[in-house]
Chain A
Amino acid sequence: METKAVIHKFILDELAKGRKKNISEDEDLLGEGIIDSLGILQLVAFIEEKFNYTVPDEDVVIENFMSVNAISNYLDQKLVK
């Protein structure tokens, strides 16, 4: 599965937990409460395990984590290197 699909699936299945049936790739995950403060920790832990990449605390900011697209763009950039 490509990065975007993996992230999308994790957020929908594990973090939204039935509260949302669909999440669009540009939807504001944080502002709309789809991911809460515990959820962001789970998401970072999931990314670190799945992609074997340590996300620096300074990178866990709104620009990189606000939507499925933002997260996958961020990861695509980091994972190439």
Chain B
Amino acid sequence: MKYRYLLHHGVFENAESAPSQVAIRYMREELTYQQLAEKSAQLANYLQKAGVGRGDRVGIYMNKNIYSAVAIYGILIAGAAYVPLDPFAPTERLSFVINDCGIKFIITNESKSEQLSEIIKQTQLSGLIGIQNNPEIKIPATSWEKIFTLPSSPPLLSLVEQDLAYILYTSGSTGTPKGIMHTHRSGLSFAEWAVQTYQVNSTDRISNHAPLHFDLSTFDFFASSIAGATTIIIPEGITKLPASMAKWIQDEKITIWYSVPFALIQMLERGNLESKDLSSLRWILFAGEPFPTKHLRTLMNKLPWVKFSNLYGPTETNVCTYYHVPLLPPDSDEPIPIGIACENIEDIVVDSNGNQLPEGEIGELLIRGGTVMKGYWGRPDLTEKGFCRRPVFGYCEDIFYRTGDLVQKLPDGNYKFLGRKDRQIKTRGYRVELDEVEAALLSHPTVHEAAAYPVPDVEGSNLIEAAVILVEGGNLSEDDLIKHLSGRLPNYAIPAKIIISDDFPRTSTGKINRRELQEIALTRNKS
């Protein structure tokens, strides 16, 4: 086994041992490992010349395309960290992220010109990469054609595995997103574990369904490049259409599929799986939220040759537990467990005072190991809250990450997931802090009070609903509020329904009774 300590090592190893093996495929375009290594090195040389150095942050803002992988590896080779920007997020939110971590350069494409001319007004960017100079955009741009004339051997740089590799921004409870920092080490610890556990090898064709700002994508790219496999990027449009998605798996002969359960449930219900030849599939991996057992059983019955695995872990820890799903009994819809701790993870369960609990008792899951993040960008306060230092072996202290998830260890050793300690929810696999939704509603001057709450839907996920009370004499419609939110929140965090009411149900202490609001919504949806 080779000793790798940087996330891009896999690409160079394969460029040497299997130069003509296809590394990345998008629609009809392909890059071999040799091409990927050379083009990434060219980008790194450009970045270095432009003044980007070790530890700097570089944004990636585009719909996924064949150069997505060049962007990721080029930034890493230059010693910088990549920051994927959600291509569909409102520009205000993106400008926040760019300013928050001090991004100077963004790798982009032509489809984002309109948004970029907005973003440039609100940030201090120095340059754009991947587009031609454009009079509308008032900062210098460098096209790929120019970059691909630069030297194709990587710049000489001394990097260590603790160097920052990427920052993923997620919903934060204070109303602004927070940046989760991962290092080469934490990314590799996960990717190498995944390669071993799922026996990823050079014959694999791995789907990339998740957007780059979603941590599932690190498996698709890094596990693949370590194993010398091919990553096949699914075109954005197809991800919305279950029948096209199933046909894409068939045509691209995908062997390992990884996504949130929602995408799989859509294909199960509307993908006409019976009419497709999906015999190439060997693993279906899912993560992000619970997969309702009845849907999972039906899917497993339709694809009996495929192995299924449930991966669990907050973005802060990569994956920390996994569960290879056995044959599910036909008569029980009991939720499947999140499984056992990954081999490179230490797991303990504690009570609300931080005391370790005996096996089988319900408590919060704490995680220690190489896959844990470095911290939140620029937020030592949040990092301190997320971590706790505990004695290990009786003679030293080490960091554990508090997942905020309540779990219970079952007699067979698997963990059962029982919910959150706080007000974070998952909707279609995306993590949303309900406090952030409420903060965004309250930022409208006419809103006096706001409550956001999850309403479970038939697909086993959540929709977000909100209720507001307006200031006296205020006049606002649901549409006005949705327009207000659409500049502040990503699309998935915008409530499906906002109710404007005169008063809320209250608890005995006068607090908004969100549970009752949720029950009212559930009753309404049933009738």
Nearest opposing residue in chain B for A16, CB measure: B486
B241's partner among A18, A32, A33, A61 (CB-CB below 8 A) is A61
Per-residue CB proximity of A5-44 to B under 8 Å, as 1/0?
0000000000001110000000010111101111110000
Q: In the complex the two chains form, is A62's CB within 8 Å of B483's CB? A: no
Whether, in the assembled complex, B238 has its beta carbon less than 8 Å from a beta carbon of chain A, the answer is yes
Per-residue CB proximity of A40-51 to B under 8 Å, as 1/0?
100000000000
Nearest opposing residue in chain A for B463, CB measure: A38
Q: In the complex the two chains form, is B486's CB within 8 Å of A30's CB? A: no
The distance in angstroms between the C-alpha atoms of A59 and B271, with both chains bound, is 10
Q: Majority SS of interface residues in chain A?
A: loop
Chain B residues with Cβ under 8 A from A61's Cβ? 241, 243-244, 247
Chain B residues with Cβ under 8 A from A66's Cβ? 237
Nearest opposing residue in chain A for B237, CB measure: A30
| A36 to B: closest C-beta gap in Å | 6
Q: In the complex the two chains form, is B244's CB within 8 Å of A62's CB? A: yes
B243's partner among A31, A32, A58 (CB-CB below 8 A) is A58
Whether, in the assembled complex, A60 has its beta carbon less than 8 Å from a beta carbon of chain B, the answer is yes
Q: In the complex the two chains form, is A36's CB within 8 Å of B272's CB? A: no
| A78 to B: closest C-beta gap in Å | 16
Nearest opposing residue in chain A for B263, CB measure: A37
Chain B residues with Cβ under 8 A from A40's Cβ? 240-241
A38 in contact with B243 given A31-B236, A33-B236, A33-B491 (CB within 8 Å): no
A30's partner among B236, B270, B483, B492 (CB-CB below 8 A) is B236
Whether, in the assembled complex, B55 has its beta carbon less than 8 Å from a beta carbon of chain A, the answer is no
The distance in angstroms between the C-alpha atoms of A27 and B35, with both chains bound, is 32
Q: In the complex the two chains form, is A62's CB within 8 Å of B90's CB? A: no
Q: In the complex the two chains form, is A19's CB within 8 Å of B90's CB? A: yes
The distance in angstroms between the C-alpha atoms of A17 and B479, with both chains bound, is 8
Chain B residues with Cβ under 8 A from A60's Cβ? 241-244, 270
| A61 to B: closest C-beta gap in Å | 5
Q: In the complex the two chains form, is A18's CB within 8 Å of B486's CB? A: yes
Q: In the complex the two chains form, is B486's CB within 8 Å of A57's CB? A: no
A57 in contact with B237 given A17-B482, A31-B63 (CB within 8 Å): no
The distance in angstroms between the C-alpha atoms of A68 and B454, with both chains bound, is 32
Q: In the complex the two chains form, is A57's CB within 8 Å of B491's CB? A: no
The distance in angstroms between the C-alpha atoms of A18 and B486, with both chains bound, is 7
Interface size on A, residues (CB 8 A): 22
The distance in angstroms between the C-alpha atoms of A37 and B270, with both chains bound, is 12
Chain B residues with Cβ under 8 A from A32's Cβ? 63, 88, 111
A17 in contact with B486 given A37-B266, A60-B243 (CB within 8 Å): yes
Q: In the complex the two chains form, is B483's CB within 8 Å of A17's CB? A: yes
The distance in angstroms between the C-alpha atoms of A35 and B486, with both chains bound, is 14
Chain A residues with Cβ under 8 A from B486's Cβ? 17-19
* Interface residue ranges of B63-87 to A (CB < 8 Å): 63, 87
The distance in angstroms between the C-alpha atoms of A20 and B495, with both chains bound, is 18
The distance in angstroms between the C-alpha atoms of A40 and B243, with both chains bound, is 12
The distance in angstroms between the C-alpha atoms of A39 and B90, with both chains bound, is 18
Chain A residues with Cβ under 8 A from B482's Cβ? 17-18
Chain B residues with Cβ under 8 A from A28's Cβ? 237
The distance in angstroms between the C-alpha atoms of A36 and B370, with both chains bound, is 35
Q: In the complex the two chains form, is A18's CB within 8 Å of B479's CB? A: yes
B88's partner among A33, A38, A62 (CB-CB below 8 A) is A33
B87's partner among A18, A33, A57 (CB-CB below 8 A) is A33
* Interface residue ranges of B262-290 to A (CB < 8 Å): 262-263, 266, 270-272, 275
A17's partner among B235, B271, B428, B494 (CB-CB below 8 A) is B494
Whether, in the assembled complex, B239 has its beta carbon less than 8 Å from a beta carbon of chain A, the answer is yes
Chain A residues with Cβ under 8 A from B479's Cβ? 17-18
Q: In the complex the two chains form, is B88's CB within 8 Å of A30's CB? A: no
A57's partner among B88, B236, B262, B272 (CB-CB below 8 A) is B272
Q: In the complex the two chains form, is A30's CB within 8 Å of B241's CB? A: yes
Q: In the complex the two chains form, is A31's CB within 8 Å of B241's CB? A: no
Chain B residues with Cβ under 8 A from A57's Cβ? 242-243, 270-272
The distance in angstroms between the C-alpha atoms of A37 and B234, with both chains bound, is 14
Per-residue CB proximity of B404-419 to A under 8 Å, as 1/0?
0000000000000000
A62's partner among B238, B270, B272, B492 (CB-CB below 8 A) is B238
Chain A residues with Cβ under 8 A from B247's Cβ? 61
Q: In the complex the two chains form, is A36's CB within 8 Å of B240's CB? A: yes
The distance in angstroms between the C-alpha atoms of A17 and B88, with both chains bound, is 13
The distance in angstroms between the C-alpha atoms of A37 and B271, with both chains bound, is 13
Chain A residues with Cβ under 8 A from B244's Cβ? 60-62
Per-residue CB proximity of B82-104 to A under 8 Å, as 1/0?
00000110100000000000000
| B269 to A: closest C-beta gap in Å | 8
Nearest opposing residue in chain A for B87, CB measure: A33
Q: In the complex the two chains form, is A36's CB within 8 Å of B491's CB? A: yes
A18 in contact with B483 given A38-B428, A57-B243, A62-B237 (CB within 8 Å): yes
Nearest opposing residue in chain A for B275, CB measure: A58
The distance in angstroms between the C-alpha atoms of A32 and B494, with both chains bound, is 18
Interface pairs (14), CB distance under 8 Å: A18-B486, A19-B491, A28-B237, A30-B238, A31-B235, A33-B87, A33-B236, A36-B88, A36-B492, A37-B263, A40-B241, A58-B272, A60-B244, A61-B244
**Which residues in A have some Cβ–Cβ distance to B below 8 Å?**
17-19, 28, 30-33, 35-40, 57-62, 65-66
Which 4 residue pairs of A and B lie closest in terms of their CB atoms, listed nearest first? A30-B237, A18-B483, A33-B88, A31-B237
With A17-B483, A57-B242 already in contact, 16 other A-B pairs whose C-beta atoms are closer than 8 Å: A17-B494, A18-B482, A30-B240, A31-B236, A31-B237, A32-B111, A33-B491, A35-B240, A36-B491, A37-B263, A37-B266, A38-B428, A39-B240, A40-B240, A57-B271, A60-B243
